[in-house]
Each structure stands twice: as structure tokens, then as C-alpha cells.
Amino acid sequence: MAVIKNITEAQVLSLSQGLVAGVDEVGRGPLVGDVVTAAVILDPDRPIAGLNDSKKLSEKRRELLFAEICDKALCFAVGRASPAEIDSLNILHATMLAMQRAVAALSLTPASVLIDGNRSPDFGLPSHAIVKGDGLVAAISAASIIAKVTRDREMAVLDQAYPQYGFAKHKGYPTQAHFEALAKYGVLAEHRKSFAPVRDLLAR
């Protein structure tokens, strides 16, 4: 596994040849829910305009691109790790496990894997970790969008079950509103018990 910082356009082009899976994660920071990853193999004959880091796109734009990726990609898959797994393994190792699950679930076996960030799990395949890759490599951008929309939708479902926590707004992240809801209504089964704000509340 190689880590690439300051990747050039020529490197992006070279690494993107053939069956290449882009991988990204969403949800390392929240106090609740799964960490969600996605793996996407794009079709070079069906390019998708406007791909970018999901955090830099509006919700409406993400939803539109999500649908286009689902339609045009050669294949894609979602992987996840549960709050219990996060508590058992820690968030880093749980994220790596979720990435492995996403790549393993692809209907096509990629020749290589490109991951956003500076770490990569062992996929049993050649892989490159690309710093800020979600804004520079189309397949990673697509993976970031699939993961982000998937997790946001799951937070909307959780919000319907527990509207008093405000999950649809803060998506489970450690906001003041989330802290106040935790203090008032307590810890849910979906909360990550090893994360300090939740752990401290349980310890009282």
C-alpha cells in the first residue's frame, strides 16, 4: 500500500486505468450509528460530470449524483461497521473493516483500490491511499457520495424513530443539540458507548 500526497493529474489518470475501485467512508465522528463506507467502480464509457468530495456538495446535488452513480457505475457496494464493532475495535479499525466489506461486496473484482486518506486496510489487492482523494479522484468522489447519502438517509430513519434527538439535522455528530438530547433522554442502543460524551454519561 502506497500513500500519495499532492497527487498530480497525470498520477490520477494513470491510477484510474482499468477496473479501479474508489473507496471512502462517512461517519467516523458521530456519536451514533454505523460507520459507512462505499466502494465504486466507474464506467469509463459513461462519465459522470460534477463528482466531488461529498462534503463540498449540496444535499440536492448529492442526491442527484447518487442516482446517476447508481445508474452508470459498473458496480458499487456499501460496507459498514456497527456501534458494537466500533466500541470493540475502535473507530479506526472498524472503519478499515467496513472498507474491506465494501470492496468484498463488489460484483466485480477490481485490479486495484484507491482510498481517500492516508491509511488502507489489506484488501488482498494493490491499493493506494490518496490524501484528499475524495476531491481529486472520480471513483473516490463517487464512493464518498454513495456513503454520505446512504448514512444521511439512515439518520433520517433514526430521526423518525427518535425525533427528540434531532438526528435528521445533526446526523449524529457531537453538536450542542445532540449533547442536550443525550442528557435529557439518555443513551440509545444505537449510540457508540466508547465515545467520550456517551461513555461519560453512562459513567455518571
Look at residue 1 and tell me whether its pLDDT is greater than 80: no
CA distance 140 to 142: 5
The SS3 of residue 38 is strand
Mean pLDDT in residue range 33-44: 97
Rounded to the nearest 5 percent, the helix, strand and coil shares of the chain are 50, 15, 35
Percent of the chain with pLDDT over 70: 100
Mean pLDDT, the chain, integer: 95
- pLDDT for 109 beyond 80: yes
The answer to whether 22 touches 145, Cβ cutoff 8 Å, is: no
For 4-30, write each residue's pLDDT tens digit: 898 898 998 899 888 999 999 999 999
pLDDT, average across residues 113-117 = 96
Hey, what's the torsion of the CAs at 156, 135, 106, 42, to 10 degrees? 120
Say what the pTM is. 0.95
Q: What is the pLDDT of residue 29?
A: 96
